[in-house]
Chain A
Amino acid sequence: MKCSDFLKELTDYLDNTMDSHTKAELEEHLQWCHNCYVVCNTTKSTIEIYRDSKLYELPDELRTRIHSAIVTKCECHKNSVAAPSPDKSVKQDEGSSK
């Protein structure tokens, strides 16, 4: 197996979504190829660091604000669907004022 072949399979290897034969081949390659071993380990670390980083957490204050905005908008939508369309009511108003 060449290093380029190893790289092609790296994602499936890290996700453990490959057949046991291919996995054994990759692990055999890792036994002697230090470069692929390093790339594999550091790529795994990259994923774990991002996953555990709490990057872009939603602060509580913002969360509360977003919640009330969403609920208000959903209520508006619900009422607008339930109520007669505004166009009709405008026409009726216009009609009655004449």
Chain B
Amino acid sequence: MEAIENKVAEPPSEESILVDAARAGDIRAFESLVRRYDRNVFRIAQHITQNREDAEDVVQDAFLKAYQNLGQFQGQSKFYTWLVRIAVNEALMRLRRRRPERMISIDEDIRTEDDSMPREIADWSPNPEQQYTQAELKDILGKTIQGLPPSFRTVFVLRDVEGLSTEETASALELSVPAVKSRLLRARLQLRERLNKYFKRRDGDTKP
């Protein structure tokens, strides 16, 4: 089976030149960094907050905070990982404001009875996503991931959608590697379980 490959690749030299220039006050250089990562930050923010306006604010606030604090960025981690950490914190803060009745933390480790043990085991149709229009599919995927605890969907989006490594995800979230792995496994299995009802093979489907 092929490995799931990472998505975000960055040439460190070019990036560190931009970071140094931005740190020295070059806003154009910082704008290049914004252009490089704004889509990723927006996607992460929207996955966590599940709210478009909040996601928009998170992107603005995260980049502004990054600009203001570039002096503290030591370059030991990648700029993107450092930026993601800022963005995740901003997104969680927004989520807490919207849902003050619930304590929302990235440390949250909800462990219900067999929460990730597969209950329904059914094979899926070949290319199951093609049974739906693009809009329907986005609706299904959005609703499905919304049902996951924030800490699970945060790990899932960083690791599986944005392609950060387990170590980078752990560093961005200030979690241990085993904690990231545990949340990732449960997030993946819970999403799989919830998608079953949309994608499972129905009578009459031909076998691949």
Interface residues, chain A, with chain B CB atoms under 8 Å away: 4, 7-8, 10-17, 35, 38-51, 53-58, 62-63, 66-67, 69-71, 73-75, 77-78
Contact check, A46 vs B60: say whether CB atoms are below 8 A apart: no
CB-contact partner of A42 in B31, B124, B185, under 8 A: B124
Q: How many residues on B have C-beta within 8 angstroms of the other chain's C-beta atoms?
A: 55
Number of residue pairs spanning A and B whose beta carbons lie under 8 angstroms apart: 140
Contacts of A14 in B (CB 8 A): 1, 3-4, 188
Given A46-B195, A49-B137, A77-B64, 5 further pairs, Cβ under 8 A:
A11-B188, A38-B121, A44-B4, A58-B59, A77-B68
B interface SS class? helix
B56, CB-defined interface residue at 8 Å: yes
Measured CB to CB, the nearest residue on chain B to A58 is B42
Q: Are A56 and B43 interface neighbours, CB within 8 A?
A: yes
Known: A7-B189, A62-B56, A66-B56. A51 touches B27 (CB 8 A): no
- Name B residues whose Cβ lies closer than 8 Å to a Cβ of A: 1-4, 7, 25, 27, 30-31, 34-35, 38-39, 42-43, 46-47, 55-56, 59-60, 63-64, 67-68, 116-118, 121-124, 128-129, 134, 137-138, 141-142, 145, 156, 160-161, 163, 166, 181, 184-185, 188-189, 191-192, 195-196, 199
